[in-house]
Amino acid sequence: QTLRQLLGPDAFRRAPVRPGAAHRVPPRAIGDAPRFRWRGLLLDVARHFLPKDGVLRYLDLMAAHKLNVLHLHLTDDQGWRIEIKRYPELTRTGSWRSRSKLGHRLSSRWEEKPHGGHYTQDDLREIVAYAAERHISVVPEIDLPGHSQAAIAAYPELGNTDVVDTAALTVWDDWGVNPNVLAPTEDVLRFYEGVLEEVLDVFPADAGEFAPFVHIGGDECPKDQWRASATAQARVRELGVAGEDGLQAWFIGHFDAWLAERGRRLIGWDEILEGGLAKGAAVSSWRGYAGGIAAARAGHDVVMCPEQQVYLDHRQAPGEDEPVPIGFVRTLEDVYRFEPVPAGLDAEAAAHVLGPQANLWSEVLDSQERVDYQAFPRLAAFAEVAWSALPASGERDFTGFEQRMTAHYRRLDALGVGYRPPAGPHPWQRRPGILGRPLDGPPPQR
């Protein structure tokens, strides 16, 4: 990719526009190596489905930016996207919803049409192989024990049936944190072991440097149903764990051991720290730096993806014409000044920071065009942070980066990327009347 950048924007087109023209580069030595091993991008294909060709396209875009881990968020309350042959209802029922909230969850508007889709196992094998050809590892995420309403809608026995009528649940059509979580029973463990057996077959451990990892979520798991459930409370007493947080730690610990027995590694969101971290688990630190710092100091590997720094679904400018503005403003310069290794970590703990990851959550990204707009150009700034040994955040030459972006915008044009122009969105990129939730002021630093 370094050499490709020297050839001009036409080198990024899918076919030559000047057949027979030769690319010439003067003799030179290239010294180029990454700062971080893990240079990741999360694509949320559960909230809004991205067809297979869209995923393959993003693998090409990742390769062009020297990113090497695709974290594929395959399951959530709003959709189950991976074929599981022993449990066909997961896609027959769980892969589509009857309608979708338009904009932020406080909006009163709905898109009154079904939304859905899923990948067959062969689709995903193709994605894994395509990624491997580009030196990209694909890390699948099967979210549990929260973010599970789509699975419960397909198989109601997975939910807390002594608290809620799970047979009445459908795939969720709204956004936010959902109260319907998995029941802490042996049957649920066996069900998800069956799911993961097929996941491991589709995503083999030898398909890339980080291919042994399987992400099991572990985030945003409300405990209200467990508190009210006689079954859950009996399990707390039986296990002798410290309440509902201990019950979640038991869930995570079970799958950490199960994966380790099969030569795989568990990674989860930083809530898995609550109630005690499973021995072999790695942590995706999303609620700021604090969880990652604690995990690294305890000797666990960490991927730094703090929400207020590298959640690219958040708005990138303060203007009223930003489409569906969510969260604090995170400009191109803000992302360029993101530092994945907090200053408070000593060398031993810092060595556990595998690298950074940018996350693209898709609640308000309902098309490839919306994904492109939110990702670019900020993903280019993130990629430079992940690859290059840059100075300290405040000492980085953003003016120089902007000048280099002038050439890179032409590469993005050649790649067909619908990025946000520096002067603001094109008229057709705006979404007037679709409610967002912009937050004012600087984001919290924690």
Q: 3-state SS of the chain: helix, strand, coil percent to 5? A: 40, 15, 50
Residues 6+ positions from 142 with CB-CB distance below 8 Å: 74, 75, 82, 192, 195, 196, 199, 214, 215, 216, 217
**SS3 of residue 265 by DSSP:** strand
Does 65 participate in catalysis according to the annotation? no
Q: What spatial distance separates the first Cα and last Cα of the chain, rounded to whole Å?
A: 35
CA distance 31 to 29: 7
CA triple 91-326-115, angle to 5 deg = 20
Q: Active-site residue among 60, 174, 198, 220?
A: 220
- Half-sphere exposure at residue 363, Cβ-oriented, CA atoms within 13 angstroms: 26
The letter for the amino acid at 103 is G
Block residue for tokens 């090497």: 68
State residue 52 phi and psi, 5-degree precision: -50, -45
Three-state DSSP class for 321?
coil
Closest CA to 70 of 211, 187, 266, 194: 211
CA-nearest of 373, 354, 351, 352 to 362 is 373
- Phi, psi (degrees; rounded to nearest 5) at 89: -65, -20
Report the distance separating Cα 361 and Cα 176, nearest Å.
12
Which residue in the list 147, 314, 352, 408 is annotated as catalytic?
147
Q: Rounded to an integer, what distance in angstroms lies between the CA atom of residue 196 and that of residue 214?
A: 9
- In whole angstroms, give the CA distance from residue 40 to residue 356: 6
Check if the beta carbon of residue 77 is closer than 8 Å to that of residue 149.
yes
Known catalytic residue: 366?
A: no
Active site residue 220: yes
Out of 44, 76, 270, 301, the active site residue is 76
Active site residues: 76, 147, 220
